[in-house]
């Protein structure tokens, strides 16, 4: 198969590319960085260097593909939701123009809701755009919270000796490792499918408090505590750490959605399916090694 991958060599796209090349497929990896070209080619894939904001560029590298994997780059500027939707619309236009018939889209738990869910709402709107693609089979991959997001909290652990967000430690969160998401994406890209389908990718369902305890034990800080912040304190903490105000507000909104249960609701309704093998206990060893 000829498969085009977006997302350069990120946490999902790199293992996804490696897996597909090993399976004998002809893989093209789209990246905005020319510095990635040699690295992509070393993996046995073809490098397509350009911007996903360039419709003609996308059409060129989607053309002839048996399947395409799409993800929205986190680096697109402007309003977070608007940028996400614009990228999704560009992908959809390129898919239609190039005649691609099989697409796997990286989405998120919570993307079923047209509700205040922070950046996840942008993915909901892109799912709606992709749902309008005629005669195109689309699988919406909805992973849980990435374990690797805990790396963003290293300064908080080091400086304050805590972890936290604006929901209590008793909140259960669907979690997953990017490697498990890459495995699911590889399976879907190679699978014959019809219509529009959703696949949740979650490896573990654990409370924030349990995650904090396991991380603390792994890094030699057994007293590590989870703290529930107010919404204003959470937003201020992120802006003090350098995030733009609008971005911080979106992430606070997502945390509120997790607290209310809106984000996890459909996943729970589906029976909390487990599709990954890397458990939280496995990840904390990885976290401790890089702490």
Domains annotated on the chain, with CATH:
2-145+175-201 (3.40.50.720), 204-290 (no CATH)
Residue 267, pLDDT > 80, answer yes
Please calculate the CA angle 150-154-157 and round it to the nearest 5 degrees.
Answer: 105
Predicted local confidence at residue 77, as pLDDT: 45
Range 128-146 average pLDDT:
97
Integer Cα distance of 195 and 289 in angstroms: 43
Q: What is the pTM of this model?
A: 0.95
Give the 3-state secondary structure of residue 143: strand
**Distances 63 to 41, 46, 177 between C-alpha atoms, Å:** 20, 14, 31
Residue 76, pLDDT > 60, answer no
Range 128-139 average pLDDT:
97
Predicted local confidence at residue 74, as pLDDT: 67
Helices 80-98 and 120-131: crossing angle, nearest 10°?
A: 20
Residue 78, pLDDT > 80, answer no
Predicted local confidence at residue 289, as pLDDT: 94
Predicted confidence (pLDDT) per residue in 214-262, tens digit: 999 999 999 999 999 999 999 999 999 898 999 999 999 999 999 999 9
Integer Cα distance of 196 and 134 in angstroms: 10
Range 122-142 average pLDDT:
97
Which pairing describes strands 196-201 and 137-143: parallel, antiparallel, or unpaired?
parallel
Contact indicator for 43, 17 with CB cutoff of 8 Å: yes
Which pairing describes strands 162-165 and 67-70: parallel, antiparallel, or unpaired?
unpaired
Contacts of 134 (CB under 8 A, 6+ apart): none
Percent of the chain with pLDDT over 90: 93
Predicted local confidence at residue 80, as pLDDT: 80
Range 263-271 average pLDDT:
98
Integer Cα distance of 21 and 43 in angstroms: 8
Predicted confidence (pLDDT) per residue in 156-168, tens digit: 999 999 999 999 9
Integer Cα distance of 17 and 222 in angstroms: 38
Contact indicator for 204, 175 with CB cutoff of 8 Å: yes
Contacts of 42 (CB under 8 A, 6+ apart): none
- Of 17-26, 66-75, 97-106, 193-202, least confident by mean pLDDT is 66-75
Average pLDDT of the residues of the chain: 95
Integer Cα distance of 214 and 196 in angstroms: 38
Predicted confidence (pLDDT) per residue in 4-49, tens digit: 999 999 999 999 999 999 999 999 999 999 999 999 999 999 999 9
Please calculate the CA angle 69-74-77 and round it to the nearest 5 degrees.
Answer: 125
Predicted local confidence at residue 35, as pLDDT: 94
């Amino acid at each position: 198969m000829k498969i085009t991958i977006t997302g350069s060599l990120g946490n999902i796209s790199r293992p996804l590319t490696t897996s597909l090349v090993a399976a004998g497929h002809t893989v093209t990896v789209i990246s905005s960085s020319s510095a990635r070209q040699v690295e992509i080619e070393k993996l046995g894939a073809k490098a397509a260097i350009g911007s996903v904001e360039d419709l003609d560029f996308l059409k060129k590298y989607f053309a002839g593909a048996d399947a395409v994997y799409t993800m929205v780059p986190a680096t697109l500027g402007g309003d977070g939701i608007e940028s996400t939707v614009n990228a999704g619309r560009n992908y959809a236009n390129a898919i239609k123009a190039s005649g691609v018939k099989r697409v796997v889209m990286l989405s998120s738990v919570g993307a079923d809701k047209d509700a205040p869910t922070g950046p996840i709402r942008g993915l909901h709107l892109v799912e709606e755009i992709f749902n309008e693609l005629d005669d195109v089979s689309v699988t919406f991959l909805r992973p849980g919270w990435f374990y690797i997001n805990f790396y963003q909290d290293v300064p908080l652990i080091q400086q304050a000796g805590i972890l936290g967000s604006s929901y209590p430690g008793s909140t259960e969160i669907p979690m997953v490792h990017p490697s498990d998401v890459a495995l699911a994406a590889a399976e879907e890209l190679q699978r014959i499918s019809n219509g529009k389908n959703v696949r949740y990718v979650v490896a573990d369902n654990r409370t924030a408090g349990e995650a904090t305890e396991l991380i603390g034990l792994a890094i030699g800080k057994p007293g590590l505590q989870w703290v529930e912040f107010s919404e204003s304190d959470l937003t201020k903490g992120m802006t003090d750490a350098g995030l733009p105000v609008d971005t911080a507000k979106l992430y606070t909104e997502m945390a509120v959605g997790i607290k209310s249960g809106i984000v996890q609701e459909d996943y729970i309704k589906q029976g909390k399916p487990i599709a990954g093998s890397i458990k939280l206990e496995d990840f904390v060893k990885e976290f401790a090694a890089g702490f």
